[in-house]
Amino acid sequence: MVPHGTIEQRITELFGWEQTDGLVAAITGIPDPSKGEALVLLTTKDVTLEQLRTKLLESGLPNLWVPRILRKVDKIPMLGTGKTDLKGVRTLAIELTKEQAET
């Protein structure tokens, strides 16, 4: 079990991202035919997958916890209560990954 919240927190700390304008990073798992599940980072910030992998691995995070897919979004799905919409995040990650694969 990969702790998504821990990874999100580590990413925001390592990159020095402020969350004053709302959530800037959300991790979710999507189906992956070869590994069973792939971690996806949805973020509102400009960052490359290479930068993300380098910082996380250098910080000592296990390779299994490093997202393999990164998607930039305008905003992270939120519920009316102000909490992250986990189902919405997963659905968006699947849709964006599918679109990327089709292009």
pLDDT for position 44: 95
Nearest residue to 23 (alpha-carbon basis) of 68, 85, 69: 85
Q: How confident is the model at residue 2 (pLDDT cuts 50, 70, 90)?
A: confident
Would you say 37 and 31 are in contact if contact means Cβ atoms under 8 Å apart?
yes
Please report, for the domain that includes residue 53, its CATH number.
3.30.300.30
| pLDDT tens per residue, range 17-40 | 987 778 999 999 999 888 889 999
Two tokens, residue 62: 């296990």
Distance in Å from the first CA to the final CA of the chain: 32
Number of structural domains in the chain: 1
Cα separations (Å) of 11 from 23, 34, 56, 60, 87? 12, 26, 7, 12, 21
The residue segments making up the domain with residue 61 are: 4-102
